[in-house]
Structure 1
Amino acid sequence: MTAVITIADPADPSVRVLIDALDQYMIPLYPAESNHLLDIETLRQPEMRFFAAFAGDDVMGCGGCWLHGDYAEIKRVYVSPRARGMGLAKKLMDRIEAEARMTGRMIARLETGIHQPEALGLYRRLGYADRGPFGDYAEDPNSVFMERLLA
């Protein structure tokens, strides 16, 4: 499968199906106060860059970055179960990080959960290192905070 990664509107019905699937995956894993799921309208704001990976008309993955003053926060990275194991998450991360660099952000940060070993493994393979909470996040035993320099 060859996927094309492009800027996408999170409100597009085909993209929204994938975001809803991500929500259904995340909600049972963590208590509500530990789920930092941005809603569709927030994902559509000017400081957001959101991408989807398409194979034909099928949306296979998504993710984006929230552009803060001096860093980009990785948000909503998800690959459909039928597309896992094909390197799509890495390709999405490469595109998201490229966008962050193009907008002048040289640091990427993220928050993920302790019950997502695949995500933690991916981020660590990509060079993300553990750090403390950032932005509006508070210390949370269910969260792992990470960052990477985008030089």
Structure 2
Amino acid sequence: MTVVTVEHSTAPGVLDLVRQGDEFGLSLYPPESYYALDASELDRDDVELHVARHDGHAIGIAALVDAGDDTGELKRMFVDPTARGRGAARALLDSIETAARARGIRVLRLETGPKQPEAIALYTSHGYEPIDAFGPYVGDPSSLCFAKSLS
């Protein structure tokens, strides 16, 4: 069974998933189009790191960034390729949305890329709709942005 908890970036297995996520993202997109939070940013007060574990092993991560204005952003969503297909991504997304609602976040936004059809399918099946690029993603053709109302 997959269990999702809020953890610190130094928890067992987390930094390995961060590294894997970086390697995956940079294999698809140029560095100037790769917008992941740095590992050092995962423990900021406005960031909540969610970790999916199966039998105690970290298999996925996702971060909620609270913008402080009733919006939030999903960042760093990554599931170990060997653990995909077991529901970890959906569990992480559910956990992030629950946490966002608890923080008073009414709209959750995210950015992904056109070379990640599985991610796009996950987000759209979870109720996320395409929106215009926002923040650092404006003008980057490698960025696709989505949002979901949580209210």
Q: TM-score, normalised by structure 1?
A: 0.95
Q: Deviations over 1:82-102 (max 9, x none)?
A: 211112111110000100000
1:41 deviation in Å? Answer: 1.4
User: Is contact 2:28–2:115 with CA below 8 Å preserved after alignment?
Assistant: yes
User: Is contact 1:4–1:53 with CA below 8 Å preserved after alignment?
Assistant: yes
Identity %: 36
Residue 6 of structure 2 aligns with which residue?
Answer: 7
Matches within 5 A, 1:121-136: 121-136=121-136
1:13 deviation in Å? Answer: 4.5
Displaced runs of 4 or more, over 4 A: none
SS of equivalent residue, structure 1 residue 36: coil
CA–CA distance in structure 2, aligned partners of residues 101 and 134 of structure 1: 21
Residue 150 of structure 1 aligns with which residue?
Answer: 150
* Aligned AA (2:128): Y
Q: Is the counterpart of residue 106 in structure 1 residue 106 in structure 2? A: yes
SS of equivalent residue, structure 2 residue 29: coil
Q: Deviations over 1:43-78 (max 9, x none)?
A: 110000111011223101110110002211000111
Residues 8-17 or 39-48, more deviating:
8-17
Listed as ranges, the gaps of 5+ residues in structure 2 are none
Residues 135-144 or 34-43, more deviating:
135-144
Q: What's the RMSD between the two structures over aligned residues?
A: 1.1
CA–CA distance in structure 2, aligned partners of residues 10 and 138 of structure 1: 29
Matches within 5 A, 1:35-46: 35-46=34-45
Residue 31 of structure 1 aligns with which residue?
Answer: 30
Residue 78 of structure 1 aligns with which residue?
Answer: 78
